[in-house]
Amino acid sequence: MTRQVRVVIAGGSFGGLTTAYELRRHVGAERLAITLISREERFAFVPSFTWVATGSRTLEQISFELAGPLAAKQVRFAHETVVGIDSESKVVSTDRAEHPYDFLVVATGHRSANEAVEGLGPFDGPGHSPMSATEAEELGRAIRRLLRDPGPVVVGAAPGASCIGPVYELAFELDQLLRRHGQRHRVPITLVTPEPHLGHMGMGGAGKIRQLLEGELEERDIAYRTSAAITRITAEAVETEGARAIPSVLSIVIPPLAGVAAVARSPGLSNPKGFIPVDAHYRHAKADGVYAVGVAVALPPVEETPVPVNFPKIGHMTEQMATIAAADIAARIAGGTGPTRELSARCILDMGNRGAYMAVDPVRPPRNRIPTVSQGRRWLLAKRAFERAYLWFASHGRRVPTTVGW
């Protein structure tokens, strides 16, 4: 009897879940044993963390238990924390067990490097961030305090950030929330970004998105600074290199990202920042049988900028990586090689009372197609509908079509 091929997936968010579903679509359980390891019991729809912070969603509404849908796909779920990876012996160690593998997919996501900016808490400093479930809930409490006791707000990204979209979303969402509560006139909002121009987002911009964002921020009286390096956050202000401090009683700053500790300390697996170098199939450059998808992947910036801005890492791109990696693993089991393609990006920005849709192909310029940029209330409705659809499909063990993007 032929031994089952063992695939271990480290991580239960977009990359891990998509890889598991795609692998099972390609290869049956009699041939392939899949184990997904996650320190979280629940999948959370990360793009909705800004909505958790601004009060239009709860964590329960944007998450579901992983065990059920994985079991339906005959994927073993290990609710454990990865502590190390031995790529020579092909073993993943957790806080509870050791998991040998033939193929490993690292989809562990990121560690928020909040230490890059002095005072960027939220739990050990006055600054806030929406980059995790607990941080989003904590930011929600801070926003409720702001509604009771208004004052100036700064929303921004630190040097080296790669997740710029939520900066714009939070600025627009806060503007809309404050208007609804009749407090906007008491709350100056400033957007601070390392981007050389608005809408750069680590991908060099997208068509007319720069002009669109400039107009929208100016229409809403949201001040902004570009090529700004945030250096320190205090209870009263946000400080930037070479410029005056910006008064702020609520400071929301997206940090740069780093690889998770278990990956960073595993010999021969990652670069100095804890990210994993891969080829076009998302195979590790040297370690046999190791793949990486999503934020765990080492991706160089599209260009040098006066203040560093890293390559964007969004859910839509993570799913593409996972699909390519899963197809390659399935092909290698059958003695072949899977297809590859350049990453594209489609996303919808929540602008408070409407949405903005962007599509670029490929992400790195120059591009085969002129980028698509569109705005209107229909895109905000589409973003909300996509969130519901994604959660329903994923919680029932199915891939949701991502034609619209997110």
Nearest to 207 by CA among 342, 316, 343, 367: 367
Please give the pLDDT value at position 111.
94
Strands (E), 118-275: 153-157, 189-192, 222-225, 230-233, 237-240, 246-247, 250-254, 257-258
Residues in contact with 117: Cβ distance below 8 Å, sequence separation at least 6, in sequence order = 127, 158, 230, 231, 232, 233, 253, 255
Query: What's the 3-state SS for 331-367?
Result: HHHCCCCCCCCCCCEEEEEECCCCEEEEEECCCCCCC
C-alpha to C-alpha distance for 79 and 246, rounded to whole angstroms: 43
Residues in contact with 222: Cβ distance below 8 Å, sequence separation at least 6, in sequence order = 171, 172, 175, 189, 190, 191
Contact 29/74 with Cβ under 8 angstroms? yes
What pTM was estimated for this model as a whole?
Answer: 0.95
Does domain 5-112+258-341 bear CATH number 3.50.50.100?
Answer: yes
**Cα separations in angstroms, 71 against 12, 16, 128:** 13, 14, 37
Q: In the numeric block, which tokens belong to residue 48? A: 């909705």
Q: In the numeric block, which tokens belong to residue 285? A: 């450059």
Amino acid at 363: V
Q: In the numeric block, which tokens belong to residue 126? A: 């006055």
Q: Quick check: do 5-112+258-341 and 114-255 share a fold? A: yes
Residues in contact with 56: Cβ distance below 8 Å, sequence separation at least 6, in sequence order = none
Estimate to the nearest angstrom the gap between the alpha carbon of 303 and the chain centroid: 20
Q: In the numeric block, which tokens belong to residue 20? A: 């598991």
Q: Which residues of the chain have pLDDT under 70?
A: 1, 400-406
Please give the pLDDT value at position 400.
65
Q: In CATH, which of 3.30.1330.60, 3.40.50.10800, 3.40.640.10, 3.50.50.60 is domain 114-255?
A: 3.50.50.60
Which neighbouring-strand residues pair with 112? 257
C-alpha to C-alpha distance for 259 and 268, rounded to whole angstroms: 14
Helix (H) or strand (E) holding 84: strand 82-86
Taking the alpha carbons of 301, 305, 309, 313 in that order, is the dihedral positive or negative? negative
Catalytic residues: 163, 347
98-100 and 91-94 strand pairing: antiparallel
Strands (E), 276-400: 290-292, 345-350, 355-360, 372-376
As a whole number, the mean pLDDT across the chain is 95
Provide the residue ranges of all domains of the chain, joining segments of one domain with +. 5-112+258-341, 114-255
Please give the pLDDT value at position 1.
53
Q: In the numeric block, which tokens belong to residue 354? A: 């409407």
